[in-house]
Structure 1
Amino acid sequence: MAKENLGLAMASSSATSSSTQKHEVYISLKNDDPQIKFIADMMSTSLTIRGVPTFKDEKQLRKIQKGTNLKRELKEAIGMSKICVVLFSKDYVYTSWCLEELVVILRCRQRWGLIVLPIFYDMDPSDIRKQRGDAFKLVNAQIQGRVWWRRWKSALKEAGNLSGWDHRGSSRIESLLVGKLVEDIVEKRIPTNLNISIYPLRYDTCDQYLNLFLQVGKDDVLMVGICGESKMGKTAIAKAVYEQTFYTFESSSFLSNVSQNSRQSNGLVYLQEKLLSDILLERNINILNVTRGMDMIKDKLSFKKVLIVLDDVDDLEQLYALVGSRSWFGLGSKIIITTRNLQLLNAFGIDQIFLAQGLPLPPNIQAILGHFQQSRRIIGELQEYIQVLHQLTTEKEMYLKGRLLIQRQKKPIQGQKQAHDGDSSFD
């Protein structure tokens, strides 16, 4: 029971200790492998240079290799991270404490939105997902049937389904891998806790705030909250964004009056059926109970890029039943939640909260224009931020292409020789 509660405790720590957070990226690896350690060191150094602090405490890792239980400090380090890089190797799946660490990492991903980036080093992702191949023969023979193997298998299956880097073969170049990974991590550092106040007046541009925010980290599953008192324009803002962006997603659903509908007989089941019907474009969807509905949403939507709006939410149970985890949805999915309860959004681990502050129409038109101009300035700053992100990505791609071209021009003979010789020194 203590282990189950630990995930919540450390996740709570991550939610409340952002001001004291000393690292943003946690690197999970089997530290005995020299090549894996080399990649981790290169990654840590590159991220530090780019201003992204990492956690890779070798002394602490060595201390816990003898047991299967992770130390409290290490669990807190995972919970305090925004991004976790998992370096999968054959030795990784042999080691019980690595697998237990993976369980904690994925628990944080499910409950608090930790971004997990796997690197499959000399391993087929499908082998991780299905626990097959040479790497798992010894594992299965030694620990199959034990109580904890079930949760390890579940964690491996989930990790194998994540989008990551398949780094196999003799032609791999570690520096290019690290370069791409570092750029991806820098891009995923989405600005959080801006809590921009938006004024839904007829002259305002509040819906543009959300549109711009959803462009940042466009491949991530983002959950955005719009919070405010009654009659502040929360629903109007959500509808405006929905109508402007739904066509860019594979499927979409706008669930109105969630709090009212959930209190009807089998209300949550009805909302689950409505959500699946909208997304899958199927009329006759029958769900036995809420738990079964949660499983169906996860199974049916985990590979779909969807836009979902939950309007007027007032209970955590509604969120868990309808959008319980980011892992339920495909890359690039966005979930918008409107509510009067700010604490509810914080407890659920929302990526960004927008505070709707509706104002009566002032007699002085200059007051309206003042808010309008302020909105324009903030929107301009957000647009500039997004342009800088895109520019950095483009420049990095051009740099990598140039480096590859230079290497090909300088070493054509050596490249041909390696092709005849077969495996390289990386094996």
Structure 2
Amino acid sequence: MGEAQTGWMFDVFLSFRTEDTGKNFTDHLYTALDQKGIVTFRHDALERGKPISTEILKTIRESRFSIVVFSRSYACSNRCLDELVGILECMKSKGQTVFPVFYDVDPSDVRKQKGCFEKALCEHVQFMDKVESWRAALKEAANLSGWDLKNKFESKVIQEIAERIFNQLSQEVSSALTDLVGIDSLVKEMNMYLDTGVDDVRITGIYGDKGIGKTTIAQAVFDSLSVRFDGSSFLANIKEVSEKQGLVPLQEQLISEILMARNMKIRNVHRGVNTIRNSLCHKKILLVLDGVDRLEQLENLAGNRNWFGAGSRIIITTRDENLLIRYGVDRKYRAAELNHDDALRLFCSKAFKQGHPPEDYAGLCNLVLDHAKGVPSALEALGSFLFGRSLPEWQGAVDRLAQVPCTWDYLK
């Protein structure tokens, strides 16, 4: 899908021993997850004995789920064991869900470090300072609910895992829609228009001022509908990206995400147009073109309806309503400022982590709302800035707000 469905960088992090399962079970699992639009990270094979990198640890922290595939030589790798420690730390600190999979090993051997696991740990002489933490991690992970492949068909287990992750992600996306303060009705309206069995190609536009929530609306619709398409792509910040890099990288991203093809290279914009048209004309796709400001961008990324297969949907966000008219969208929606009640709820969700202000802060909240003028990004920025601050600090911030026309930049 190009972007994780839950707001994390990745939906799933796979921890596995390349030599054991990298070309069979884990590869097939990765494919099953990928086919369901689940954004999954798997590392390339690393040199034997090479320590875990800070990039891998960062990726673990940015993943909603981790799947740990325990195999016979998993504990032979200090990198795998370090990954496991990092994964369990994220489970405790960030609420990451962890699923163990036992491939050709007994869960009891992992839990109690017997057999091949005992032998492997004894051979880590140069890492004796880590062995105890590794043992504790193995025991803890083996006690989690997961899958034991003993006497089971691999293909069936893989499908069970993919369905479990997919269903949980779908529930979280649905739950997230209820938290879209002030724009939930617009998201539902767009979903009803776009999520239909009609096989025409529909193009919709969302327009409005900067910071008003156009991208948030498009992302919510994208997250809730993308699993219903053959492929999907969310091209963010098109104006900024095209000014710095041109349109070719955006064309490459579009094709790569929808076709799930890696290292897609396009020589020039004209070639990109032909590739998009020829490769996607029979696919039902969902495409978001975010932050568009020129007709040229639309013409070279989604030039004509016949570029895409029956049932495809295209969503465009822009500040320029006239651009949507010139392009010929089927329907356009205006992202408007929030009313007072919705603005208060959004601001308080950031400033107090609840939907209403404490009594002592009510007057100051109204002054902040007057300054933010219903702009969601301003409300979120101000709320996040004021979170956890004392009443005198709030008063000082509100006093400064009254002295400047800018909503929040000076607070940084």
Q: TM-score, normalised by structure 2?
A: 0.41
Q: TM-score, normalised by structure 1?
A: 0.39
